[in-house]
Structure 1
Amino acid sequence: MVDCIDVLVIGGGPAALCIASELIQRGVAVQGMASNPVDVPWTNTYGIWVNELESLGLESLLEHRWKNTVSFFGAGGSNTEDQPTNHGIDYGLFSCAKLQRYWLSRSAGMTWHQDSADRIDVDSDYSIVVGISGKRHQARMVIDASGHCTPHINRPNQKPIAKQAAYGVVGRFSKPPVKSGQFVLMDFRCDHLTAEQRNKTPTFLYAMDFGKGLFFLEETSLASAPAVSETVLKQRLKQRLAKSGVAIIEVIEEEHCLFPMNLPLPDFKQPVLAFGGAASMVHPASGYMVGSLLRRGPGLADVLAAALKQQPSLKSAVLVRQGWQALWPTELVLRHRLFQFGLNRLMDFDETMLRRHFTSFFQLPQKDWNGFLTNTLSLPQLMKVMLHLFIISPWDVRRGLVLGGKPSH
């Protein structure tokens, strides 16, 4: 007979470490299951608006911080003076090592089983996770935080899933590809593309100066179904650099990103709880998630810890249901649907309309566009901001937001 713990967390990435550490901090008996050791270094880059971390007192987790934060939405061209849109809010890049150590230190002493979940057998009182090793682990409840590809979380089978795709390079270049000390959120200038390429899915440059002659450049597709291929992204980045007379001297790292932006919300009646990408917590409007993990993890842990303390004999099904209600209250569900509606409209925009849309978007008051991108606005505030954006948008963008469909030329 296996010992029964309170919670078994599946996964070893940011979402798993986040929720495990929050539960441990509240005295919950937690164990984890991950296919690799949880201290293996993370290779992805995670960006965030610094005010999200300032509100949590976690700015020390950053490796880089930029005050000069801009975007470019102009058409470019040798006869055009490209004027940046200045954002006026600091942007940061996490130190993956610091972020990982932060969560591991808060869950010190926790047992992690190096295994992968083969199946989850659920009873009304507890769950048994059977690993591919054959070992069985019993818990009052299971939290799947293993990412959006998990087979253990049920969700509606809706329309094709749009994915954000990106190809990035950390390296040294023949000359600076962006200004010294600058962070570029979006560079939609497209004078390096052929007419045929401009009629295809738009992409933009996400770029930052790391200092000491090191830069990170990433060609990104906001969202597309099917996803833009890495071959296309590499080619567009190459063309973008060539147009600026920039050559790559040394590639230190490559980054490959592909994740869903409009993943349907899970079935909230299922007996396994999810967190992170498995719970569709990626922001449909921006693709960010770490800030959401840091904000929403403590609240979910509070609810689960309180329920376990107040009713030690609480059935697993009831506990999981309380977890889903805490993670996805009605207001957050409605906000998520609004974001998905907006994303679905933007996916029909060509590069001209997309640039016109973002030009209008960043004309909103700073607190409004920042709250939109961080998902920190209340539902009434979000609806007010979306109405304001509609009013200040050009007529063709307004038409696209209402009617959808490809623009006519």
Structure 2
Amino acid sequence: MFDALVIGAGPAGIIIAAALSDQGLRVQGLTATPLRATWPNTYGIWRDELEALGLEDLLGYAWENCVSYFSQGEVDHQRAYGLLDKTRLQNHFLTLCEQGQVDWREGMAQSIKHLADHSCVVTQAGEELVARVVIDATGHKPVFVEREYTYPIAYQAAYGVVGKFSKPPVEPGQSVLMDFRREHLTAADQAQNLPTFLYAMDFGEGVYFVEETSLAAAPAVSFEILQRRLNQRLAARGIEILEEHEIERCLFPMNLPLPSFDQAVVGFGGSASMVHPASGYSVGAQLRRATDLAQAIATALQNQQASPQQIAKAGWQGLWPKDRLRKYYLYRFGLEKLMRFDATQVNHHFESFFSLPQEQWAGFLADGMTPAELVFAMMRLFTIAPNDVRWGLMQFPGEEAPLFWKFLTV
């Protein structure tokens, strides 16, 4: 019998499998697709976040020149932004899994049952996999992790193209984090409260990545709208797409409710609501928090009489301690505010946000501050924001009040 069974072999699955094996646990993994299948999406991260973990070698690209465009023009972030090399990331953690003797199986999980001292997962092929605890890392539509949906889910969506263009869509050696300029939009588009922005970068050798991205929205902005807006943006600058090397379509939830912490399965990654509600980043959080979960599970497993539910509960507590829960509700509170802003308020908000000291806006995006530091940063943002943003922050028309109350009382 294995100590832990990890379901899923995306970034979350292989990261937590490696962390569990590093604790000396016997780990089995189950993947529905070939273990080394190429992941479809790109993963951005600030370079200093990887440097803090000693993992900067996993970057495929890094841009010292990282800028954004809001209503007042260009903002130089003075911080290097990067894209993870998906293959390098995958190989790195699969190598750690091999060193930890993780036993990977290919198959689709179909059912699970929990007994006194172990759980049993049955695959569609009828194979039974037995472990003392199961970790579900299958994304925001998990196989086994359960959560209660009590409000509409907001999604961030993006449509992107990697290819060659008639003119450079960004400056040489540059990455654009957010370009909210909207002069290219039709009058009908401008009348909609549907802020979207360009996310773009120079890959070198005449290859660029351009992506039209929506803020969180419920319902989600369609790929058709995003593709049309991207084409309008390029056309307004006299840019044609000459070669399409890759098309990216991303859709992921930003405000998933937390799962029940009493269930006998532990989540990690999207299944555990680890996507940052304000930024959409998740891989950095997985890299930073995997050890917390692995250590909590390893400690709980020392009790040979512990049930799967007891082990899972300890895992949930390690992944979501009280301080992190408080921050989750405060981030959700901020997201509710942002979703109600019109295009002008969105621009003013981000101009104010990125005028905060870098340690504050960087800590906010990385979930690296204590609750008290987070509150201080948000209060500072309120004091420097223009009146339209302040007025929006003072309104409580929807989920804001309950979320703020949970922040205070969790």
- Tell me the TM-score normalised to structure 1 length: 0.95
Report the 3-state secondary structure (helix = DSSP H, G, I; strand = E; otherwise coil) of the residue aligned with 1:39: coil
Structure 2 gap ranges (5+): 399-410
Letter in 2 for 1:5: F
Contact between 1:125 and 1:317, CA under 8 Å: does it hold in 2? no
Report the 3-state secondary structure (helix = DSSP H, G, I; strand = E; otherwise coil) of the residue aligned with 1:69: strand
Shift of residue 404 of structure 1? 5.0
Which residue in 1 is equivalent to 2:343?
351
Which residue in 1 is equivalent to 2:402?
none
Of the candidates 193, 199, 205, which is equivalent to residue 206 of structure 1?
Answer: 199
Alpha-carbon distance in structure 1 between the residues aligned to 2:337 and 2:73: 27
Alpha-carbon distance in structure 2 between the residues aligned to 1:115 and 1:197: 45
Moved more, 119-128 or 362-371: 119-128
Which residue in 2 is equivalent to 1:284?
277
RMSD after superposition: 1.2
Which residue in 2 is equivalent to 1:33?
30
Match runs of 1:153-192 below 5 Å: 153-192=145-184
Which residue in 2 is equivalent to 1:51?
48
Match runs of 1:281-360 below 5 Å: 281-308=274-301, 310-360=302-352
Report the 3-state secondary structure (helix = DSSP H, G, I; strand = E; otherwise coil) of the residue aligned with 2:340: coil
Match runs of 1:8-23 below 5 Å: 8-23=5-20
1:225 aligns with 2:218: yes
1:371 aligns with 2:363: yes
Which residue in 1 is equivalent to 2:376?
384
Which residue in 2 is equivalent to 1:84?
74
1:190-224 C-alpha deviation (Å, 9 max, x unpaired): 00012221232110000001111110000000100
Which residue in 2 is equivalent to 1:240?
233
Contact between 1:169 and 1:251, CA under 8 Å: does it hold in 2? yes
Letter in 2 for 1:7: A
Contact between 2:136 and 2:143, CA under 8 Å: does it hold in 1? no
Report the 3-state secondary structure (helix = DSSP H, G, I; strand = E; otherwise coil) of the residue aligned with 2:216: strand
Alpha-carbon distance in structure 1 between the residues aligned to 2:226 and 2:92: 34
Alpha-carbon distance in structure 1 between the residues aligned to 2:18 and 2:380: 40
Which residue in 2 is equivalent to 1:250?
243
Alpha-carbon distance in structure 1 between the residues aligned to 2:268 and 2:184: 41
1:108-149 C-alpha deviation (Å, 9 max, x unpaired): 042111111111111232111111111111110100001111
Report the 3-state secondary structure (helix = DSSP H, G, I; strand = E; otherwise coil) of the residue aligned with 2:111: strand
In structure 2, relative to structure 1, the CA distance for the partners of 1:91 and 1:299 (3 Å cut) is: same
Letter in 2 for 1:298: T
Structure 1 gap ranges (5+): 75-81
**% same residue:** 51
Contact between 1:6 and 1:140, CA under 8 Å: does it hold in 2? yes
Letter in 1 for 2:123: G
Alpha-carbon distance in structure 1 between the residues aligned to 2:377 and 2:164: 40
Alpha-carbon distance in structure 1 between the residues aligned to 2:187 and 2:397: 21
Alpha-carbon distance in structure 1 between the residues aligned to 2:143 and 2:36: 24
Contact between 1:163 and 1:260, CA under 8 Å: does it hold in 2? yes
Report the 3-state secondary structure (helix = DSSP H, G, I; strand = E; otherwise coil) of the residue aligned with 1:262: coil
1:207-242 C-alpha deviation (Å, 9 max, x unpaired): 001111110000000100000000000000000001
1:146 aligns with 2:156: no
Of the candidates 127, 131, 135, which is equivalent to residue 135 of structure 1?
Answer: 127
Contact between 1:165 and 1:220, CA under 8 Å: does it hold in 2? yes
Shift of residue 349 of structure 1? 1.0
Report the 3-state secondary structure (helix = DSSP H, G, I; strand = E; otherwise coil) of the residue aligned with 1:354: helix
Report the 3-state secondary structure (helix = DSSP H, G, I; strand = E; otherwise coil) of the residue aligned with 1:141: strand
Which residue in 2 is equivalent to 1:118?
110
Aligned residues: 395
Which residue in 2 is equivalent to 1:196?
188
Letter in 1 for 2:93: W
